[in-house]
Structure 1
Amino acid sequence: MKICLKKHVLPLKHTFSISRESHDFQDTLIVGLTLDGQTGYGEATSNPYYNSTVESMMAEIEAIRSSIEKYQLTTPEVFHAFLLSKGLSNFAVCALDLAAHDLYGKLQNQPLHKIWGTTADQYPTTNYTIGIAPIKEMVAKMKETPWPIYKIKLGTDDDVAIVRELRKHTDAVFRIDANCAWTALETINNAPLLRDLGVEFLEQPLKAEDWEGMEKVMHHSVLPVIADESCIVETDVEKCALHYNGINIKLTKCGGLTPALRMIQKGKEMGLKVMVGCMTESTVGISAIAQLLPQLDYVDMDGALLLKEDIASGVRILNDGTVLFPEIPGSGVTLL
């Protein structure tokens, strides 16, 4: 296989703020794997919370470039195990794993969701994320992009008041993501107020390691709670089942589609609601997530919608949340 690595800096339509950071651009790594005239593309974004940069990922991959280029691809799953044996970070593995899946699908001339035995006839609607900002800006963002489901980022001193004001301007479903900013008591107290404001669920209200607090929340919250920062890799699923109603799987965190598929299966076996989320990826990463749609209860795949400029074509999402799958097999990705 021939491998190509390229850093892109993705400009955002608006400053994106959550409880712990803000940014106007998203650095991302695009990996291309070429074999037999076909090229598969994968992606992993940088993330300061997980100490991952594009430069660090590129350095890891360059260190084993010769091994990758000599590798005889059979299936993405076997390739993923090979990458783990080389000690790569999950973010670097994700970019390579997504590229391998896209390549494999293109070589098989089938979209990934069909290879996995699913059909894209029915799927959950993605939410559209509204980052933390002055309330007028948050309202303006909603009006700019009317959507059936919004994920509202919170973690301020006036969180309930923010949701109450936003509710005046839309009938859309709300999902709340506090990104670890609340305490157990805040979560329990906020839940009934937010439920009455049309909130569907709460995502990661407490710090990732606050399992004792989450046990209290699970006993007293009137809203379901979904794990994000508490659910990173496959071994986290079982523990989350005792402390959350569902899990939000991120491909970059867990290491790609290969472990994500296993996490989805494990989550369902344990009675959890299953969601897959994004990290403000371009259409490269979003198209990979879209292949999982038939297996999910919820999805957050609005990353490319938040960009001022995209770098690829693939899956398209219309203003009503409808997903248009490309005719190209694999993940359906083509770089622009």
Structure 2
Amino acid sequence: MKESAAVFFKHLGFTYLGANLFSMQISLKKYTLPLKHTFRISRESHDFQNSLIVGLTHKGKVGYGEATSNPYYKITVESMIAEIMAIKNEIEIFDFDTPESFHKYLVEKGLTNFAICALDLAAHDLYGKLKDKPLYELWNTNTSSYPITNYTIGIAPIDIMVSKMKETPWPIYKIKLGTTEDVAIVRELRKYTNAIFRIDANCAWTAEETIYNAPILKDLGVEFLEQPLKADDWHGMEQVMRHTVLPVIADESCIVEEDVEKCGLHYNGINIKLTKCGGLTPALRMIKQGKEMGLKIMVGCMTESTVGISAIAQLLPQLDYVDMDGAMLLKKDIADGVVIKNDGKVLFPSIAGSGVTLN
């Protein structure tokens, strides 16, 4: 079995680090994922996304997880691999029982949340496959009702933004802003679609701009604003919450579990990113805490492949909003799992866990 596993992972291009059938066998691979279009937000732009895929094998089952690099948080695939390699011998002999116990162990080892996320997603996928049930079922939720993902339109010249919408007709668009002509951009885009708009300024606005823009954007069919101010501008958000006519969702202000309580006093909702908080394990706790505080709950992506998107999809029944279009933005995907149809509906995999298999 050891030899067959090694051959299997070598065929996929992974670095195989396993020991034997009864240990936690681990594999790591860097992917460079090309995007369909240049993706630009207020602070950066890129044409590809570097991503780490982790495979965890136990008792003949393989679970997959993912975490992307991110310059804003100073995370690279190489840095995540180095972290994981530093404790790979300990991971191999870890007595895997539940994803929660594994996550606690990883936190105690001091890994970054991005590296923990890749391992945690793999552990959840593995656990579901061992139990032969999808994660949403293990969490006592069902997929009879769930929110539709938005499709993201990055900052670009107006004609390019319009062409992206025409290329992918969609019921909900997230529009990235952070220019000197933001309202004019939304006004122009509105001419070409009746879709719901969500606006994400990625920390580029001031409180005054947000309060001024909000009523105009509301009249243009905008549903909510996401992270208009800098992440630590809590005073500005107090002003926004007193005066804005649109709901505001925290993103960069809500990274880990400890941020939920403060965001509850300054925002109408939170956008949870699995890579930032450390995976599904803390995300589930953040969802529960946010709901108890009366916040709207959103989960967002970081342009992951279907590996990461399939993990997000398991949370759908618990969410008010979702941004899980990452794999849709890629020229070529690397995995099979959740499928998002042209109308936004989701086809869940027939296999258990997150339902992921690598191509």
Equivalent of 2:309, from 286, 296, 299? 286
SS at match of 2:72: helix
SS at match of 1:260: helix
Task: Report whether the alignment pairs 1:72 with 2:105.
Answer: no
Q: TM-score, normalised by structure 2?
A: 0.93
Task: Report whether the alignment pairs 1:184 with 2:173.
Answer: no
Tell me what 1:33 maps to: 56
Deviations 1:13-63 (A, max 9, x none): 000000000000000000000011110000000000001000000000000
Task: Report whether the alignment pairs 1:59 with 2:82.
Answer: yes
% of aligned pairs identical? 78
SS at match of 1:310: coil
CA drift of 1:86 comes to 0.3
Alignment partners' CA distance in 1, 2:143 and 2:105: 30
CA drift of 1:72 comes to 1.0
Alignment partners' CA distance in 2, 1:46 and 1:214: 29
Equivalent of 1:223, from 236, 246, 263? 246
Alignment partners' CA distance in 1, 2:230 and 2:139: 35
Q: Unaligned 5+ residue runs, structure 1? A: none
Alignment partners' CA distance in 1, 2:245 and 2:282: 31
Tell me what 1:9 maps to: 32
Alignment of 1:224-239 (within 5 A): 224-239=247-262
Alignment partners' CA distance in 2, 1:319 and 1:165: 24
Tell me what 2:176 maps to: 153
Tell me what 2:224 maps to: 201
Alignment partners' CA distance in 1, 2:86 and 2:293: 39
Deviations 1:208-256 (A, max 9, x none): 0000000000000000000000000000000000000000000000000
Cα RMSD for the two superposed structures: 0.3
Q: TM-score, normalised by structure 1?
A: 1.00
Which amino acid is the alignment partner of residue 40 of structure 2?
Answer: S
Misfit runs of 4+, over 2 Å: none
Equivalent of 1:321, from 344, 347, 356? 344
Tell me what 1:101 maps to: 124
Which amino acid is the alignment partner of residue 141 of structure 1?
Answer: K
Task: Report whether the alignment pairs 1:82 with 2:105.
Answer: yes
Structure with bigger gyration radius = 2
Alignment of 1:250-329 (within 5 A): 250-329=273-352
Alignment partners' CA distance in 1, 2:144 and 2:91: 36
Alignment partners' CA distance in 2, 1:220 and 1:32: 48
Tell me what 2:270 maps to: 247
Tell me what 2:133 maps to: 110
Which amino acid is the alignment partner of residue 49 of structure 2?
Answer: Q
Which amino acid is the alignment partner of residue 41 of structure 1?
Answer: Y
Which amino acid is the alignment partner of residue 238 of structure 1?
Answer: E
SS at match of 2:284: helix
Give aligned pairs, total: 336
Tell me what 2:16 maps to: none
